[in-house]
């Protein structure tokens, strides 16, 4: 088309637009606070352009525009089924369903290095992961998987080096050459320390070993990666995007230093590090975050003397555990879809989507299928994998990327002033800061400044149709006895004396001989180092606490928590107020019972008394009179209402209700947890975790 879309319209200046947008109120800031320190203007113009081409070209330093122009991102799926036979079947199904990378999450017993026969092993066996202790177990899970075709990633916490030995032994046993062995050992000792509060030796020693592991991996397994910087734990504890970036870069610098100290060239050391950022549902913020981390990391590598072409490390995304809820789990599909969209279009090299049913039990067939198909649809049906950096050139997108990069760099500098990522964990800087940020976020959720559909707004009561699948531990229950039946293994003492550049080779040889994860860990363990673990703060936690309390009350024989909605006037006049009240009270699992259109206060009071309701919320449309509202409140009280809420209406009606004896005015901006906890307690429900 040759005509301009603006033809026929008078030009509008920024000042004219601003006057209209603010309605002349000079106190309106024309911006929205996205998170701590990061703002978005209401309108961007050419004056906001940072530079003619601020982000460079796709595939070129500083890699703001990504490293995979014209290629799909990798679809990585996590496998957590404790039953090794089931895990293998699900893994093969995932690979046949378009997954091209996968993560094996080891169970709690393996991640914590618990030995069979010791307290806690049986209780931790098969919990939150696959029951893998030795090479036979791992081989059972990987039966039929062509590892020369797909990358396998490990999630083993502090036990990652031992898990790496099992994987390396499996490669050798199955004839996978070092050039074909595409794996990610994902050793991230600082994240393990932050999550569990423990390491099996002094942190400096663990970091030195991590660097040595990277050097040995680069030499002996050139297609594999040893280290990871995983930010999920920090985001779950409250990190904003700026702090997540700062912690990620600071942690990456710790590992880069350790690998260089172990003898690696900085460029090779960078190739041994895999970033895995947590991605949430704020589409543009998350897109900008992935662009920003590549810019920041390129700057670090530039200062490290790395050539332009090598100033990047693989950057993956995992949908944030903070946003996954057990309440109304179907809505999780919407959140992870937006998050996967943001990560993919933000240039992530690979994405892991959390199954929607992850929080209600073991992910089922539907949850896993939807998780992988979400990415397939985004890539193939929406063609997002073919697009290189759609945010490029957007005044908003470029400015947001710049803001996040600056915020992340400032947080990185703050951590470096503390002495680095380890020192910031030791001193409590990270824990204290994240606790404060989590408090702010929870306050936003409680006051609905931040909305979480299905959780703090528009909740669904009753059967949501989700069918939880409980983990089947029957086939791994006897693992402890079987593992103890193995004859004592000799040679484990070789690990403690192994040269640092031969540790993985020695551990791999022992794994081939039958050594268990816990034995490999114990052979090089020192004095346990401890500090307080970070406190996880899922977004839905305060509201799930209320919902669980209401459900327990009913399951233990108590009456279903209910509140009567006394609606005044026609449906058209009160429906908005009734719907607001429904969304408000049902957040806590309190069923709302609306009166519908009722002609008189006497009839409403009679209905309340006949239904045996103790609590009532008055829903009065703007067309009601103060006298009618006052009369209704008095009659409801006389009919037996022990507590009367007034749903926010006009100031005159609110004032009339409170003057007539209403107990509380509920409106947007009140603290949901505080008000609804008191509501449940008035209904005889004990609120506890």
Task: Return the CATH number at 547.
Answer: 3.40.50.280
Average pLDDT over residues 99-111: 97
Mean pLDDT value of segment 197-215: 97
Residue 3 has pLDDT above 80, yes or no: no
Least confident of 35-49, 438-452, 612-626: 35-49
Query: Measuring CA to CA, which residue among 295, 271, 390, 301 is closest to residue 62?
Result: 295
Q: Of 457, 479, 509, which residue is a domain's last?
A: 457
Q: Is residue 41 part of a domain?
A: no
Percent residues over pLDDT 90 in the chain: 90
pLDDT at 220 over 80: yes
The mean per-residue pLDDT over the stretch 32-40 comes to 87
172 and 296: one domain? yes
Coil, helix or strand for 647?
Answer: strand
Residue with tokens 């030795």: 134
Cα–Cα nearest to 645, from 678, 612, 609, 599 = 678
Query: Does 235 score more than 70 pLDDT?
Result: yes
Domain count, the chain: 2
Mean pLDDT over residues 33-40, rounded? 87
Of 2-6, 155-159, 318-322, where does mean pLDDT reach its minimum? Answer: 2-6
Measured N-to-C along each axis, helices 241-261 and 395-418 cross at an angle, to the nearest 10 degrees, of: 50
- Other Cβ atoms within 10 Å of 17 Cβ, number: 14
Task: Look at residues 665, 612, 664, 656 and name the one whose alpha carbon lies nearest to residue 634.
Answer: 656
Nearest of 584, 595, 591, 679 to residue 636 by alpha carbon: 595
Q: Mark whether 427 and 563 lie in a shared domain.
A: no
Q: What is the mean pLDDT of residues 206-219?
A: 98
**Average pLDDT of the residues in 394-402:** 95
Tell me whether residue 470 is in a domain.
no
Inform me whether the pLDDT recorded for 523 exceeds 70. yes
Q: 442 and 317 in one domain?
A: yes
* Same-domain pairing of 445 and 557: no
Domain boundary among 457, 478, 512: 457
In the structure, what pLDDT confidence band is assigned to residue 475 with cuts at 50, 70 and 90? Answer: very high
Secondary structure element (H or E) that encloses residue 77, with its range = strand 74-79
The answer as to whether 428 is a domain residue is yes
User: Are 105 and 238 part of one and the same domain?
Assistant: yes
| pLDDT, position 55 | 86
Mean pLDDT of the chain: 95
pLDDT at residue 238 is higher than 80: yes
> Which structural domain range is residue 560 located in?
541-682
Tell me, yes or no, whether 6 lies in a domain. Answer: no
490 within a domain of the structure (yes/no): no
Residue 621 lies in a domain: yes
* pLDDT tens per residue across span 330-357: 999 999 999 999 999 999 999 999 999 9
* pLDDT tens-digit series, residues 253-312: 999 999 999 999 999 999 999 999 999 999 999 999 999 999 999 999 999 999 999 999
Q: Are residues 94 and 198 in the same domain?
A: yes
Q: Characterize 628-640 residue by residue with b for buried, 16 or more Cβ atoms within 10 angstroms of its Cβ, and e for exposed.
A: bbbbbbbbbbebe
Same domain? For 265 and 394 the reply is yes
Domain ends where: 433, 457, 481? Answer: 457
Same domain, 112 and 231: yes
Query: Which pair of structure tokens corresponds to residue 148?
Result: 């020369």
Do 546 and 413 fall into the same domain? Answer: no
Give me the mean pLDDT over the 219-235 stretch.
Answer: 98
Asked if residue 299 and residue 188 are part of one domain, the reply reads yes
**Distance between start and end Cα atoms, the chain:** 62
* Mean pLDDT in residue range 155-176: 98
Report the alpha-carbon distance of residue 211 to residue 500 in Å, rounded: 9
Model pLDDT, residue 416: 98
What is the pLDDT at residue 251?
98
pLDDT at residue 10 in the model: 87
User: Which of 183-197, 229-243, 479-493, 667-681 comes out lowest in average pLDDT?
Assistant: 479-493
Q: What is the domain-level CATH number for residue 386?
A: 3.20.20.240
Paired tokens of 229: 């910087």
Task: Provide, rounded to the nearest whole percent, the portion of the chain with pLDDT above 70.
Answer: 100
Note whether residue 49 is domain-resident: no
Please name the residues in contact with 497: beta carbons below 8 A apart, sequence gap of 6 or more.
none
Enumerate the β-bridge partners of residue 152: 102, 183
Residue 1 pLDDT more than 80? no
The answer as to whether 238 is a domain residue is: yes
pLDDT at 104: 98
Asked whether residue 448 falls in the same domain as residue 545, the answer is: no
**CA angle, corner 56, sides to 51 and 61, nearest 5?**
130
Specify whether the CB–CB gap between 362 and 470 falls below 8 A. Answer: yes
Residue with tokens 């509140």: 563
Q: How many CB atoms lie within 10 A of CB 664?
A: 15
Q: What is the pLDDT of residues 361-373, one digit of tens each?
A: 999 999 999 999 9
């Amino acid at each position: 088309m040759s005509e301009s879309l603006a033809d026929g319209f008078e030009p509008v200046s920024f000042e004219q637009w601003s006057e209209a947008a603010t309605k002349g109120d000079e106190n309106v800031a024309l911006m929205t606070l996205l998170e701590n320190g990061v703002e978005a203007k209401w309108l961007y113009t050419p004056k906001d352009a940072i530079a003619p081409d601020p982000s460079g070209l796709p595939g070129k330093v500083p890699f703001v525009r990504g490293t995979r122009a014209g290629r799909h991102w990798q679809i990585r799926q996590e496998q957590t089924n404790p039953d090794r036979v089931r895990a293998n079947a699900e893994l093969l199904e995932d690979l046949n369903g378009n997954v091209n990378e996968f993560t094996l999450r080891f169970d709690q017993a393996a991640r914590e290095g618990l030995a069979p026969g010791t307290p806690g092993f049986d209780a931790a066996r098969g919990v939150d992961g696959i029951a893998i202790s030795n090479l036979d177990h791992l081989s059972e899970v990987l039966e039929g998987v062509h590892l020369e075709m797909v990358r396998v990633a490990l999630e083993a916490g502090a036990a990652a080096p031992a898990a790496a030995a099992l994987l390396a032994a499996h490669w050798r046993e199955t004839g996978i050459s070092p050039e074909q062995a595409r794996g990610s050992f994902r050793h991230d000792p600082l994240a393990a320390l932050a999550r569990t509060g423990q390491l099996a030796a002094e942190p400096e020693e663990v970091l030195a070993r991590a660097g040595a592991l990277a050097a040995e991996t680069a030499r002996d397994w050139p297609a594999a990666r040893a280290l990871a910087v995983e930010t999920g734990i920090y985001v779950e504890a409250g990190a904003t995007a700026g702090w997540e970036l700062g912690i990620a870069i600071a942690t990456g610098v710790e590992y880069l230093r350790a690998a260089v100290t172990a003898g690696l060239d900085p460029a090779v050391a960078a190739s041994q590090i895999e970033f895995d950022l947590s991605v949430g549902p704020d589409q543009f913020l998350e897109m900008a975050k992935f662009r920003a981390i590549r810019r920041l990391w390129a700057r670090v590598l530039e200062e490290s003397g790395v050539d332009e072409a090598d100033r990047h490390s693989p950057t993956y995304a995992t949908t944030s555990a903070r946003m996954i809820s057990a309440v109304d789990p179907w809505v999780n599909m919407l959140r992870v879809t937006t998050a996967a969209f943001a990560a993919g279009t933000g240039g992530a090299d690979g994405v892991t989507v959390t199954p929607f049913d992850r929080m209600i039990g073991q992910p089922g067939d539907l949850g896993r299928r939807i998780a992988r198909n979400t990415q397939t649809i985004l890539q193939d049906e929406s063609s997002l994998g073919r697009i290189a950096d759609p945010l490029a050139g957007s005044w908003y997108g470029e400015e947001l990327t710049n803001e996040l990069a600056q915020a992340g760099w400032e947080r990185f500098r703050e951590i470096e002033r503390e002495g680095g990522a380890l020192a910031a964990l030791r001193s409590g800087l990270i824990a204290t800061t994240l606790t404060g940020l989590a408090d702010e976020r929870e306050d936003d959720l409680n006051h609905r400044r931040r909305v979480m559909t299905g959780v703090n707004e528009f909740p669904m009561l009753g059967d949501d149709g989700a069918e939880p699948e409980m983990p089947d531990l029957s086939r791994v229950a006897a693992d402890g006895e079987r593992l103890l039946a193995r004859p004592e293994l000799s040679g484990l003492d070789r690990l403690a004396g192994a040269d640092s550049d031969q540790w993985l080779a020695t551990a791999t040889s022992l794994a081939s001989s039958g050594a268990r994860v816990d034995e490999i860990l114990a052979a090089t363990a020192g004095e346990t180092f401890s500090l307080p673990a970070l406190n996880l703060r899922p977004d839905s936690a305060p509201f799930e606490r209320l919902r669980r309390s209401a459900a327990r009350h009913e399951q233990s024989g108590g009456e279903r928590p209910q509140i009567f909605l006394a609606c005044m006037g026609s449906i058209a006049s009160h429906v908005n107020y009734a719907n607001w009240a429904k969304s408000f009270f049902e957040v806590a699992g309190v069923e709302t019972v609306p009166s519908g259109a009722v002609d008189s206060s006497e009839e409403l009071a009679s209905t309340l008394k006949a239904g045996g309701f103790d609590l009532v919320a008055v829903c009065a449309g703007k067309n009601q009179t103060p006298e009618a509202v006052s009369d209704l409140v008095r009659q409801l009280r006389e009919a037996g209402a022990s507590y009367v809420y007034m749903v926010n209406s006009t100031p005159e009606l609110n004032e009339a209700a409170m003057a007539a004896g209403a107990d509380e005015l509920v409106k947007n901006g009140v603290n949901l947890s505080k008000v609804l906890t008191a509501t449940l307690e008035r209904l005889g429900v004990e609120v506890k975790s």
